[in-house]
Every structure is written in structure tokens, then in C-alpha cells.
Amino acid sequence: MRMAYQGEPGAYSEAAALAFKPAARLIPCRTFEAVFAAVEDGSATHGVLPLENSVGGSIHRNFDLLVEHELPIVGEVEVLVEHCLLAAPGVGRHDIRRVFSHPQGLAQCELFLRGLPGVELVATYDTAGSAKLIRDEGLRDTAAVASARAAELFGLAILERGIQDFAANVTRFVVIARTAEQRAGSDRTTIVFALPNKPGALWRALSVFALREIDLLKLESRPIRGRPWEYLFYADLAVGRHESRCGLAIVQLAEFARWVRTLGSYPRWKAASPANSANERNE
């Protein structure tokens, strides 16, 4: 398996890729768009993308890209994110004038960063990439919010560990592939649909799941580009697409939705046991 991910080595997306398939050959990409391109052109068999964080919320660009591309979701991974404040060796907190990180990293550490008076927060393309910038440019007035692994890889010192606002800071990633994969135990289905703009449309849409006792794990709206004040709805269903009640619900939804598309059906994430992880590495 060749797994593309956005960011530099040491990024949380790299950790997600290794959690999904420890033996995978990893392909770092500069942007989320590049991850999709790598899977589409075959240079990667799979791609891993952050979709939502328990503190910072959804990564909206990836929701949009899932609709723009015909690459199904075939799995998911959850990663417990522990952010650290990193700087060049010998740099102290009193020397810091800027903090670099991905916008999600900055958002997830808002309370801690608020306690650094006079420090400018600078959004970058990646958490680990921010650590790399400090090393490559020899910055001694700048810190990064990134992982402990990024500190190790880029030779930085850890000034503070666990600076995220909440200890239970979890990012959910999805895994995409060129074709759908029939995986045992699929119990989560992600769909996207558009509705006519009239009273009761959303109520009718959701009723097709309630009538069949299908739990909605997530529901989110996103603007339709080029059509002001019109929206798509993304929904995660706690059921596999192979189950008849899921198929019947989607068929009924299609009767009054403008359109419906299944983005993927896959097993919900369950952390692998140490024995299973060892088996994965030996494959």
C-alpha cells in the first residue's frame, strides 16, 4: 500500500497513515489537492485526509474535495493529538515573537497561545512543516505548534508539551482509494445530498433515516459554490451501505432530493491491539 498524506514527516496525517497501515509506504504531499491527485494518477494507492477535530471542528476543504473527486472513502482513523511548543535549541519562551502552525493547530491551542503576550500567530500549510521552516531558516524568534515526533525529526527542543486546550483532542481522518473496497464490518456510510429550497425539505430528508432507526453520527451543511445561499448536506450514517435499510433509506431520499451521492461505506475506527499491529507490520 502506498499512502499519500498532506504535510511533512512528523505531521499528524503521517501518524494517521501509519495507524491505518503500519507497513504502508508513505508519500508526503504539499496540499490536500495533491493527495487526491496522487491517488487519481496511481502514484499512491490510498490517501489519508483529516476531516474533523473534536476541538477545532471540520476541515471544510476536504469535504469540498470529496465531492469534486470520484474517490470513495474506504476507511477511517482517529488520532489523539498532543500538541507541543517547539523552538530551536537554546531558544526560550521569552525569545519567541511568532508562532507558526496549521490553522487547526493554532485553533486547538487557543488558550495556551493567548498566554504568550505580544506573540504573532502565523498560519502555515502544516504543523510539522512549521517545525521544518524553523530548522531550515534558522529562526530563533519563532516557535511551532507541532508533534513531539516533529521536534525529533527536525532537531528542535520541546518547550512545552500538551498545550492543546483539551486533553481529549482527537482528529478523525478518512482514507480514500481509486475504487470502493468491500471491507468486513462496514458500519459507517457517508453520503452527500442537495435538497430543494422549500419548507420541510430537511425534515423529510432526515425522516427516511428516523423511520428505519438509522442513527446520524454527523450532519453538516456546506455552501454550493456559485449558487449563493444554497447548500449541500453531508451525513454520516451508523450503518453499512450493504444493509437493506440503508439502501432503502437512500432510495427514498433520492425521490425528493435534487441528488444524492454515497461517498463511501467503511468500518468505524477501532484502535488496533498490539498483536494486530505487529501482524500488520509483518505483512
Distance, CA of 15 to CA of 64 (rounded, Å): 23
Indicate the angle between helix axes 32-40 and 60-68, nearest 10 degrees.
30
On whether the CB atoms of residues 9 and 1 are closer than 8 A, the answer is no
Cα–Cα distance for residue pair 147/144, rounded to 1 Å: 9
**d(Cα 183, Cα 71) in Å, to the nearest integer?**
16
**Contact between 1 and 23 (Cβ < 8 Å):** yes
Cα–Cα distance measured from residue 249 to residue 241, given in angstroms and rounded to the nearest whole number: 10
Amino acid at 77: V
All cell numbers assigned to 272: 488496533
Following DSSP, what letter does each residue of 107-152 receive, concatenated?
HHTHHHHHTSTTPEEEE-S-HHHHHHHHHHHT-SSEEEEE-HHHHH
Catalytic residue among 173, 193, 209, 233: 173
Cβ contacts of 58 within 8 Å, gap of 6 or more: 51, 52, 220
Active-site residue, 171 included = yes
Helix (H) / strand (E) element for 207: namely: helix 201-210
Q: Which three cell numbers stand for residue 214?
A: 438509522
Catalytic one among 124, 127, 142, 171?
A: 171
Residue written as grid cell 420541510:
200
- C-alpha grid cell, residue 228: 449563493
- The owner of cell 521569552 is 94
124 is catalytic: no
Residues labelled as active-site residues: 171, 173
